[in-house]
Structure 1
Amino acid sequence: MTGYSQEHSRLTRSAAYASIAVALLLVVIKVWATALTGSAAMLGSLADTTLDLIASIATLAGVWIAAMPADEDHRFGHGKAEALAAMLQVVLIALSAAGILFRAVGQYLAGARTEAAEEGIAVSLVAMVATFALLAWQRHVIRKTGSIAISTDHLHYKSDLVLNLAVIAALALDHFALIKGADALFGIGIALWLAWGAWRASTEAIDQIMDREWPEWRRQEFLNVIARHPALRGVHDLRTRTSGAHDFAQFHASVDPHMTVAEAHRVMDEIEEELERAFPGVEVLIHPDPEGLINEDGTAAEELLPDLGERKDG
């Protein structure tokens, strides 16, 4: 494992361990608060935190497996384990939302009221402080690694801040302001918020599983680095994808048809070195072509650097 991969693995595991520790703390105090208050909103928050704990354990497994080096059966590495862990989290969030919605609607129809609101509010405040600390560390790890599993976990805990604020508001309105149904209505709102979050979180994980191309701005930056080499005559059929923290790119590079194999190999090595400096950790596969020879059809045959000559002249 390279130093880059080791650092990525260390950071993602530390974020996963931190989220598990925070989730364990929150589950314990919210079980106590739910038993005291009978609040639908607090129950919703407890259910979400319990699933957060399960999801954080799945995240740890995902980032651990994703950090494993490529082997004979997984030649492109294990990076998609992060996307699979993220999808598991999405499923758990959706199930949590459905359960909370069912319970909150039942309590609203039954006209149930809350008790021991002071204790419930205190627990929510403690939960928010712990969550703020976790979010700060997760943001640091995401900036350093770009981990999709940690990003999805981060989304959970960002939503937890809203959930805890909603619990405080629900308890205050129901218990102190005596607004009938306030707690249940907040529970319904929490369920809908979670469902929307699950939908949003699924998008990036599905993109990785389906090998979606890099965003256009990143592809263009990649092409700009390639275009710097003076021996390059053209580029076509660029294909990119991301698997966990691992990026892959392959393309056809056109060179002078009179080059020897050894010279063309040297040019490809130099381009790869430039790309590694600009995109650390990217795995590049280059197919050299003699200038003017394009065997591909459709978009794969399109020249991606049509103004290459102008760039070199300038």
Structure 2
Amino acid sequence: MHLPKLATTVATLTAFTLAVAKIIVGFMSGSVAVIASALDSVLDMVVSIFNNIAVRVSESKPDEKFNYGKGKVEALAALFEGTIIILSGLFIIYEAVRKAIEKETITHLDDSIYVMIFSIVLTGLLVGFLYYVVKKTNHLVIKSDLLHYKTDLITNISVLISLLIVKFTGFVYIDYILSILIGVYIIREASEIVNEGFEILLDVALDFKTVEAIKDIIKKEPLVLDYHCLRTRRAGNRNFVDVHLVLTPDMKLKLAHTIIENVEEKIRKLDPNKVWVINIHADPYDDSFINKLQEECE
């Protein structure tokens, strides 16, 4: 199975397992922190199913209707996931405040502690696997899932700590306090996912390091006099690059073509795991001044 697809499948099965365990123990104990964690696992499962579909769609090949592919489905998935996480964070805060006001008690503490330990171990293994996939593919959907489950891991550890404090001190309000802090943390982390999704939909440029590497490749290419109108963006597993190269006016077409191919090949080697869509325009002179007047690169 393709690595990103395998990652979303494993994440879905893990979230399902954790959701069932937490729901049972959460409602038995009445712990708002455990119930909040259970709700988060249910949402994790829904999001991971959606992400699995998004991965399949985003990596589909371009066709007559979608000439550039469907890579931006990745960004839509990130927006969806981020929004879901923010809503879950708000609900956690609401439940913590409500239960604090109503002074609800916590029972079945030992069962709650055991299920949270189980959750921490399983989520930790999943985070390690997702980190490996992100390192190999740099896939936005998997990166969003990694951030999501890292947040879950921290949440689970916090819940375990609160349950231990309640067990040994009887200070039940720590459950509510930590739940509110968890909710705030989740909302903050989710905002980063939403922001990245918006940036991709708005055609944000490739990261600074990659753009500088592209510039360096062009500058070091023999017989390239100058360049201008360098533009980059990404969608799914595709990186897009457009640039104008200034070459000698009387250069033969075959030589110009060879130079362009050399530049393209070196750019592709920056990240072999990505599909590079490179469009290089050869200019016999620097027409960047004209392009600036027109406010576009043609």
Measured after TM superposition, the shift of residue 80 of structure 1 is 1.0
Change (3 A) 1:186 1:282: same
Q: Given the two structures, how large is their TM-score scaled by the length of structure 1? A: 0.89
Q: Which moved more, 1:249-258 or 1:228-237?
A: 228-237
Cross-structure match for 2:147 = 155
Whole-angstrom CA distance in 2 between matches of 1:82 and 1:183: 36
Partner of 1:120: 112
2:291 is aligned to 296
SS at match of 1:227: helix
Three-state SS of the structure 2 residue aligned to 1:230 is coil
| d(CA) in 2 for partners of 1:252, 1:292 | 9
Structure 1 residues 125 and 207 mapped into 2: Cα distance closer, same or farther (>3 Å)? Answer: same
Give, in angstroms, the shift of residue 20 of structure 1. 0.4
1:85 to 77, 80, 83: 77
Question: Tell me, what secondary structure is at the counterpart of 2:2?
Answer: helix
Amino acid paired to 2:59: A
Shift in alpha-carbon separation, 1:75–1:223, aligned structure 2, 3 A? same
Q: What secondary structure, in the 3-state scheme, does the structure 1 residue paired with 2:220 have?
A: coil
Conservation of the 8 A alpha-carbon contact between 2:3 and 2:133: yes
- Residue 178 in structure 1 maps to residue 170 in structure 2: yes
1:204 maps to amino acid: E
Q: Within 5 A, what are the aligned runs for 1:195-234?
A: 195-234=187-226
Decide whether aligned partners of structure 1 residues 300 and 234 sit closer, same or farther in structure 2, where only a CA change above 3 A counts: farther
Structure 2 residue 273 is matched with structure 1 residue 282:
no
- 1:1-314 equivalent positions in 2, closer than 5 A: 10-280=2-272, 281-294=275-288, 295-297=290-292
Structure 1: how far apart are the matches of 2:266 and 2:242?
A: 15
Query: Normalised by the size of structure 2, how large is the TM-score?
Result: 0.93
Aligned identity (percent) is 27
Q: In the aligned structure 1, how far is the partner of 2:24 from the partner of 2:116?
A: 12
Q: Distance in 2 between matches of 1:301 and 1:110?
A: 62
Deviation at 1:286, TM superposition (A): 0.4
For residues 287 and 185 of structure 2, what CA distance do their matches in structure 1 show?
54
User: How large is the RMSD of aligned CA atoms in angstroms?
Assistant: 1.8
1:301 positional shift: 9.1
**Aligned mates of 1:298, 1:37 — CA distance in 2:** 69
SS in structure 2 opposite 1:211? coil
**How many Å separate the matches in 2 of 1:300 and 1:152?**
35
1:50 alignment partner AA: V
Letter in 1 for 2:135: R
Name which of structure 1's ranges 9-18 and 124-133 shifts more when overlaid on structure 2.
9-18
Partner deviation per Cα, 1:206-250 (whole Å, 9 max, x = no partner): 111111112322211111112232121111000000112211100
How far apart in 1 are the matches of 2:243 and 2:294?
13
Q: Which amino acid aligns with 1:297?
A: K
CA distance in 1, matches of 2:286, 2:36: 64
Task: Determine the C-alpha separation between the residues in 2 that align with 1:45 and 1:298.
Answer: 56
The AA in structure 2 aligned to 1:291 is: Y
After TM superposition, what 4+ stretches of structure 1 lie above 4 angstroms from structure 2? 298-302
